Structure 1
Amino acid sequence: MSNSLSHWVNLLRWPVRLLVKSKLVPRDPCTELGIDPQKPVVYILKTESITDLIALERIAKKLGLPNPNTPISIGGKALPRYFSVHGRMPFVGKAAPQDEKSIAGFSELVHLLRDEKQHDIQLVPVALFWGRKPGKEDSSVKAAVLEDDQASWLRKFMMVLFLGRDNFVRFSQPISMAQMLDGRSSDERIAHKLSRLARFHFYRLAQTMLGPKLVYRNSLDKRIIKSPALGPAMEEYGAQKKLTTEQIHDEVSKMVDEIAANYSERLLRIGDRVLSWLWNKLYKGINIANAERVRQLSQDGEEIIYVPCHRSHMDYLLLSYVIYRQGMAPPHIAAGINLSFWPAGPIFRRGGAFFMRRTFKGNKLYAAVFREYLHQLFNNGYSVKYFTEGGRSRTGRLLNPKTGMVAMTVQGLLRGLDRPITMVPVYLGYDHVMEVSTYHGELKGKSKEKESMGQVFKTLRKLKNFGRAYVNFGEPISLNKHLDETVPDWRESINPIELQKPSWLTPTVNDIANKVMTNINNCAAVTSITLTALAVLGVERRAIAKNNLIAQLDLYLNLLRKVPYTQDVTVPNESGAELLEQAIELDKFTVTNDELGDVISLNTSGAVTMTYYRNNILHLFALPSLIAASLVYKNMTTKQEVSSLVSGLYPLIKNELFLGFEQEQLTQYIENVLEQMAASNLITIDDNRVAIVAANKTQLIIMAQHIQETLQRYAIVLKIMQKKPNIERSALSHDSHVLAQRLSNIHGINAPEFFDKNVLSTFISGLKELDYFTGEQDEHNNEEVMQLVETVTSLLRPTVLATIKASLN
């Protein structure tokens, strides 16, 4: 560093430290990006800036990385520890070209490293963003002052003064100079390549962090009205209503006003502070997994559609906050029109929410306007977020997907979008969902309370520490690749004007929607609450000795770690004892003490609440529980028998719980679970023969209980079908609901979803898809149903089975 630059750094260091508060992306770049603090580091910056260097200096110190303002010695020569792609902006005029200077610096570095032979260095790109304003389609004075990161000293002073608390420092994966030198390219050629890669990298990074430039509201109206794709719908609407062209345009404008977001970067900056306070008030922290895969997709130029599960109204805020803090442009959010009430509606709009009616039926123009608005978002490069479940899950399980938004997304691709679309499934979980008690009331028939400010104030009064929140980004689904694999000629259906509904659309959309839900379940977060709820609800009378509960939790943790459901499922690092203490701290379990030690239990209302959290991860234990049930209740004695039974019932369970195993994977998974059960001393395996270890049978019985309610529900439906072969679907659903309620009352089954009509309807739909249910007398079909009845009922507790039989006589 030159003496002049060193002087300015020393002079400005304290003012910058006072005014600037940097946010790091990602939170732990050394671990997440593979930056090795033990290896030499040289930074690549986008712009030559003293304030950027000082801000980076503080971050580097926290991370244990070298100071960018100290030189690095290579081959006995001191070199600057950073390179800048762009030069410093003068007060008047344009910045001097930096290419020659940066290329010369890269060339010198390459030359010295080649002489050093095995001396490797990590080139670490670092971008600093002062605020996250994407700018608008035209310029303004304000944009000139605050939006240009290649700023003169005066503009940089203004940016530090007004946006210093919103400084984001974005690290990227390091470039190994040893790998760059491992070839025959000349030093100058490598230097040119590094300079070119760095410029392109920072351009893409800005797109990822800031998003596309915003479209003015009146400009959006004009684009939608002038869209050729909307023309036929407007003409038809005008003919029906006998309206003039001007009146039709007014109608379209009103619809756009009802739908459109009014994105504000300023509100997001304020929201970032408010939500940071809120999360600290509500939660001990937010656990985030696999965010880097999404950052990479964004940086690769993909059109990203976030598709999360829907647990709570908090989902809207939590996911957008996490995306913003993870260094990506917040998405536009599809929200129900019920959330547009004042004053929340205008705030949500400025946060990126756009609103949709619950149904488009009966209004073709509205449907066409909404599709066109969505297309404009895609076409302009905005990421979008929507919930395929259509509403919040009242049971804690994933709901059957609503395919309308997925269909519109695929149809957007058929408009000829020039960028690939990738859907990112997201698992959202909480140690406490504030609406759970309301959900249980609704499942019992209570009317849903309309959203209002009164509800908001009620919620605010309840603010306290609710444990942790969890955001896991699942395996992305490339729509382009999916269509290439399943509909090779799909591009023949591309039409930029006419709405396309090819014959393959509906089955393909259904397949994509189910794949989304499966991938959400594939990245579930196992937590202290969900795992403890699962174990305690598996015990008779919902009470268990503390030491036995800890043993059960450790059993489950070992199973999840040794036989992972998928690589994306996150499992706590703590022991069973530590997880139990965390769960007890959240005041959801009752702890009583007697002379023999502590007992952990749930009262009736607590048990009902805990079913919600258990259901978040029930799919992870469905097959191990089914295996345990086959050993405990059916007394199976060989691995082949167990595998055959599980494989036979798997299609039904897969359909209901969105399980993702193909047949070959399923066989191997069953084998691995049995081997792990043997390793945990629950069973012995001798030449493929399986026997229960008597001393640990209780643990196996508890595990077998997790699938019992599902099997009981299956038995109810199948027994009714067996008795009434010609029963219609609506009657089957009604009779099953009535019998499930009776079973719930007699046997104290406290899970509200046990007799939920939607859950029963999902199972009946699965039976129909698998040709078990036809609603007609069929000898072959009856025989298959009887075999299925025999399999399912053989896995039930005898008392429950007796109640079902008695109720149908």
Structure 2
Amino acid sequence: MASPLLRQKVVDLTEERLKTEENEHLLDSTSPTYLADREKRRHEITSQLLDITADMLDKMVCKMESKTYIRSAFYGATQLLTRAYNAVHVSDSEVKRLQEVATSAAKKKQSILFLPRHTSHVDYVTLQVVCYRLGLTLPVVVAGDNLNFPIVGGFLQSCGAMWIRRSFANDQLYTALVQAYLDTMLQQGYNLECFIEGGRSRTGKLLSPKFGFLSFVLDSILAGRTEDVWICPVSLQYDKVIEVDSYVNELLGKPKQKEDLAGFLSASSVLSLNLGRIDCRFHEPWSLKDFISEQQARQTLGADFSAGSNSRIRLLRTLGYRVLSDINEASVVMPTALVGTVLLTIRGRGIGKSELARRVDWLAKRIRLKGGKVADFKGMPTSHVVERALDVLGPKLVGTVDGLAEETFYAIDRFQLSFYRNMTIHLFISEALIAAALYSRVKQGGGSANERMTEAELIDKVTFLSQLFRGEFIFTAGQGLQHNLEDAVQGLVRDDVLTTSVDGETMVGLSDSERKSGRESYDLYCFLIWPFVDAAWLGAVSLLALAPSTDTSAGWVEMQKAQDMAHFAGRTLYHQGDLSYFEAVNKEALRNSYSRFQEEGIIQVAKATDPKNKPTVRLAPEWRPERDAVSNELKPSGRLWEFIENIAQFRREGKNRRDEAAVSTRVLSLAAKLNQQIFAEELQIPAEAQPDSVKESRRRSKL
């Protein structure tokens, strides 16, 4: 409360309020008692603001004050955690390194900022228990106030949680209060913990970084209020995640349930299950001050890191993606992820027990060759590790076929298994993009000579895919697309998956040994990326339904309705056979696609000034598909259709898609039906309830 930053904000807001009251004639400047009245009013406003601030602070502040309480909470948390998971594994070398950094930081009164990935609510408990056992200062956990519900909220606040709003809504006082509180903790050397992704990942892979909290920490360093902060990216990996069932429901369109005590107790009921083990890995901590200096040195004309500058925004983005890259580097691939990946990357209906063990062993070796880490099981045979993984996944996810010559396993719930498969994809993303690019030629058949492409064409196609998935995957930080691509191609040639030859120009194709082995490596990379290609294709196809029926129509639709319609279209296309992967029909992938389409200018998004009205979306006029002049039906031509076809070339070939004309007819027919439905609904919205963008466009149309 004594922070100069916060005090100044109170003064500024008081002055703004006084000016407003003067403009509204609530203060009479002609009155003989004007100065006295104004001063009295100033004290009243300041007092009110300080009372509001104190109340907000009481709800926000971490109240970790009693050692007895902490010890009791630790004991209880450990008992609950070990009922669900049989062990929490850490690395001795990483722990020793972290303790050395912590000792040095404590002497300088500097904070360690733990930035873990966010997979489960268990993350909070796990990292606190690990820090307690390692003798580290328990971090203050930056948590969304959606978890601050009765009883549980108070308990968590006393064990290390500080509550912040999910949205600040341009509340200047609240923003200044958060900054002042963080400054105070950083100046005193308290450790902090914040989930870099914001919310929990529903898909198993890392989400894009959220920059709000990092911006506060960065501001504290740049303004000189804090000397330095140590950044420690953390990876928390689970054999099985408690909430995966609810994640799948949310991705399939079921509304997210609000956290409350009943839900917490319901989730706690699974704590008696065998969910395998947890691996907690710490990346080598690094100095934020040194990072800023390095970035500043890279600027050719000098960096302007002032608030709102482009250099400051780039610095923040670079910081966020550096942390995510470090988390991926520290991550350990669990046995359930290995088994899930193998089951979802085979061509057959199922796989025998011995072959499953062989492929898991093969995949583990591929991961290690890529510099990744696989959970250590102290010399246990692979067959035993696979059995444990199958036991943890359970019969709801993986089925067996009885009465065969060999025990055979197959994926039952592919959607839920994809959560575990996605925990490996970051290791092979460059290879997967190359494989998908080459597949556009491989699927045409005609022998090895016909299934090659020039290096220039390959680079062009991989560049397109990289841009398409820019917000979907976390690429290796600091190296650039060209460098990553060249490294990946060289690696695939070295592994004898691809071969290059010079026939006038450099040609790239599958090697003879890869063909003889049944394309095992190549298929793995393709199967990893194909569900995401399907999801991007679905997102692009759904835009056809946003095409207005006339050139004069504005075509604005509520964003939520547009994405719900896209989800509905995906379910239809999957069950009709035009979409291969049901996990492609998920809300998060569609949101990511729409974000990319907005960045590319394919769609335009408008937000209403009234928060009650939801954001709206429309196709950019230059991207509207062509219509038949007589029938007004959508035609398979135009800029949007070319974009859809460009994505489609990388999709897995299926029986329903061998006849491209038939696919075009079915897709356009479905788009026409959804188009009529969504615009009919928009026309029924009362005028007073329409978003600003819709009302303005219709007003202009009438003019």
TM-score (norm 1): 0.63
Q: CA 1:630–1:545 in 2, change beyond 3 Å: closer, same or farther?
A: farther
Instruction: Name the CA distance, whole Å, in 2 between partners of 1:632 and 1:550.
Output: 28
Q: 2:253 aligns with which of 445, 450, 454?
A: 445
Indicate whether 1:232 and 2:40 are aligned.
Answer: no
Question: Which of 531, 534, 549 is 1:709 aligned to?
Answer: 531
- Whether 2:316 is the aligned partner of 1:509: answer yes
| Counterpart AA for 1:653 | F
Question: Given the superposition, is the C-alpha separation of residues 530 and 450 from structure 1 closer, same or farther in structure 2, using an over 3 Å criterion?
Answer: same
Please name the residue that 2:143 is paired with: 335
- In structure 2, the residue matched to 1:808 is 668
Which range moved further: 311-320 or 783-792? 783-792
The yes-or-no answer on 1:666 pairing with 2:481 is: no
1:242-261 superposed matches below 5 A:
243-261=44-62
Give SS of 1:307's match.
strand
- Give 1:179-218 correspondences, 5 Å limit: none
Q: 1:748 to 1:789 in 2, by over 3 A?
A: closer
In structure 1, what is the equivalent of residue 352 of structure 2?
545
Q: Say if 1:722 and 1:485 are closer, same or farther in 2 by CA, change over 3 A.
A: farther
Identity of aligned residues (%): 22
SS at match of 2:293: helix
Task: Please tell me whether the aligned partners of residues 10 and 49 of structure 2 are also in contact (alpha carbons under 8 angstroms).
Answer: no
Map 1:495-534; keep pairs closer than 5 Å. 500-534=307-341
Deviation at 1:562, TM superposition (A): 2.0
Q: Say if 1:695 and 1:543 are closer, same or farther in 2 by CA, change over 3 A.
A: same
Q: In structure 2, the residue corresponding to 1:659 is in which secondary structure?
A: coil
Distance in 2 of aligned mates of 1:512 and 1:675: 33
1:393 partnered with 2:194: no
Shift of residue 525, structure 1, vs aligned partner: 1.8
Match of 1:696 in 2: 517
Q: 2: distance between equivalents of 1:358 and 1:585?
A: 38
Deviation for aligned residue 1:396: 1.9
Q: Do 2:436 and 2:526's aligned partners in 1 also have CA atoms closer than 8 Å?
A: yes
Distance 1:298 1:238, change over 3 A: farther
Which range moves more in the overlay, 255-264 or 588-597?
Answer: 588-597
Q: Distance in 2 between matches of 1:353 and 1:797?
A: 50
Q: Rate the CA distance shift 1:253–1:721 in 2: closer, same or farther, 3 A.
A: closer
* Post-superposition offset of 1:370: 1.9
Residue correspondence of structure 1 range 670-681 to structure 2 within 5 A: 670-676=489-495, 678=496
Say if 2:182 is the partner of 1:374.
yes
1:291-310, aligned counterparts within 5 Å? 291-301=95-105, 302-310=110-118
- Structure 1 residues not aligned, in runs of 5+: 1-220, 495-499
Code of the aligned partner of 1:580: V
Cα deviation code 1:595-630 (max 9, x no counterpart): 320111232xx3232122222222223333344445
Cα deviation 1:248-270 (Å, max 9, x = unaligned)? 32221111111101113333322
SS of 1:304's equivalent?
strand
Are residues 410 and 638 of structure 1, via their aligned partners in 2, closer, same or farther at CA, if it must alter by over 3 Å? Answer: same
Using the alignment, how far apart are the partners of 1:721 and 1:363 within structure 2?
35
Native 8 Å contact 1:653 1:659 kept in 2? no
**Distance across 1 between alignment mates of 2:157 and 2:366:** 45
Distance 2:461 2:249 in 1: 37
Q: Cα deviations across residues 625-649 of structure 1 (Å, max 9, x unaligned)?
A: 3444455562243684656643552
* Structure 1 counterpart of 2:207, one-letter code: L
AA paired with 1:707? I
Query: Secondary structure of 1:706's match?
Result: helix
Check if 1:559 corresponds to 2:366.
Answer: yes
1:335 is paired with a residue whose SS is strand
> How far did 1:222 drift?
5.1
Using a 3 Å threshold, how does the CA distance of structure 1 residues 752 and 807 change in structure 2: closer, same or farther?
Answer: closer
Amino acid at match of 1:232: D
1:777 equivalent in alignment to 2:581: no
Instruction: Determine if contact 2:139/2:191 at 8 Å carries over to the other structure.
Output: yes
Letter in 2 for 1:303: S
CA contact (8 A) 1:390 1:401 kept: yes
User: In the alignment, is the contact (CA less than 8 A) between 1:238 and 1:245 conserved in 2?
Assistant: no
Q: Name whichever of 411-420 and 789-798 sits farther off.
A: 789-798
Q: Deviation string for 1:283-314 (max 9, x for gaps)?
A: 12112243444334333324322222211111
Quick one: distance in 2 between partners of 1:596 and 1:535? 21
1:667 deviates by 1.1
Q: Which shifted more, 422-431 or 372-381? A: 422-431
Asked if the contact 1:725–1:776 (Cα under 8 Å) also holds between the matched residues in 2, the reply is no
Instruction: Note closer, same or farther for the CA distance 1:583–1:493 as it changes in structure 2 (3 Å cut).
Output: closer
Distance (whole Å) between structure 2 residues aligned to residue 339 and residue 611 of structure 1: 27
Q: What are the within-5 Å matches in structure 2 for residues 76-475 of structure 1? A: 221=1, 227-228=7-8, 230-233=10-13, 236=16, 243-264=44-65, 265-289=67-91, 290-301=94-105, 302-463=110-271, 464-474=273-283
Q: Is the 8 A contact 2:368 2:374 kept in 1?
A: no
Q: State the SS of the aligned residue for 2:224.
A: coil
Which secondary structure does the structure 1 equivalent of 2:264 belong to? helix
> For 1:492-512, what per-residue CA distance to the aligned partner results, in whole angstroms no more than 9, with x for missing partners?
868xxxxx5445333432332
Separation in 1 of the partners of 2:54 and 2:4?
A: 9
Contact 2:439–2:650, Cα closer than 8 Å, also in 1 = no
CA distance in 1, matches of 2:310, 2:282: 32
Deviations 1:216-271 (A, max 9, x none): xxxxx455897445542465468779644333322211111111011133333223
**Displacement of 1:354:** 0.6
| SS of equivalent to 2:263 | helix
The CA deviation at 1:476 is 4.4
Once residues 527 and 383 of structure 2 are traced to their aligned partners in structure 1, the CA distance between those partners, rounded to angstroms, is: 22
> What is the SS of the residue equivalent to 2:422?
helix
Rounded Cα–Cα distance in structure 1 between residues aligned with 2:18 and 2:583: 47
Q: Distance in 1 between matches of 2:562 and 2:197?
A: 24
> What's the counterpart of residue 689 of structure 2?
none
**Distance between the aligned counterparts of 1:666 and 1:493, measured in 2?**
32
Match of 1:354, SS state, is: strand
Query: CA distance change for structure 1 residues 315 and 709 in 2, over 3 Å: closer, same or farther?
Result: same
For the 8 Å contact 2:332–2:374, the answer to whether it is kept is: yes
Contact 1:557 1:571 in 2 (8 A): no
CA distance in 2, matches of 1:634, 1:476: 45
Deviations along 1:531-568, one digit per CA (max 9) or x if unpaired, are 11111122357632223322322231221122325xx7
Deviations 1:60-87 (A, max 9, x none): xxxxxxxxxxxxxxxxxxxxxxxxxxxx
Three-state SS of the structure 2 residue aligned to 1:465 is coil
1:761 alignment counterpart: 591
Cα distance in 2 for residues equivalent to 1:631 and 1:382: 51
* More moved, 237-246 vs 330-339: 237-246
Would the alpha carbon gap of residues 723 and 238 (structure 1) be closer, same or farther in structure 2, given more than 3 Å must change?
closer
Task: Give the 3 Å change call, closer, same or farther, for CA 503–471 of structure 1 in structure 2.
Answer: same
Deviation at 1:530, TM superposition (A): 0.9
Cα distance between partner residues in 2 of 1:226 and 1:788: 51
Distance 1:403 1:750, change over 3 A: farther
1:150-178 per-residue CA deviation (whole Å, 9 max, x = no partner) reads xxxxxxxxxxxxxxxxxxxxxxxxxxxxx
Q: What is the deviation of 1:734? A: 6.4
Residues paired across the two proteins, number: 575
Distance 1:513 1:311, change over 3 A: same
Structure 1 residues 431 and 385, CA gap change in structure 2 (3 angstroms):
same
Aligned to 1:214: none
Q: Is the 8 A contact 2:64 2:157 kept in 1?
A: yes
What one-letter code is carried by the residue in structure 2 that aligns with 1:529? Answer: T
* Alpha-carbon distance between aligned partners in 2 of 1:435 and 1:370, rounded to the nearest angstrom: 30
Q: Please give the alpha-carbon distance, in whole angstroms, between the structure 2 residues aligned to 1:505 and 1:431.
A: 39
**Residues 576/230 of structure 1: CA separation in 2 closer, same or farther (3 Å cut):** farther
Q: Whole-Å Cα distance in 1 between the matches of residues 58 and 276 of structure 2? A: 39
Change (3 A) 1:722 1:399: same
Q: SS where residue 423 of structure 2 aligns?
A: helix
Structure showing greater Rg = 1
| Letter of the structure 1 residue corresponding to residue 357 of structure 2 | I
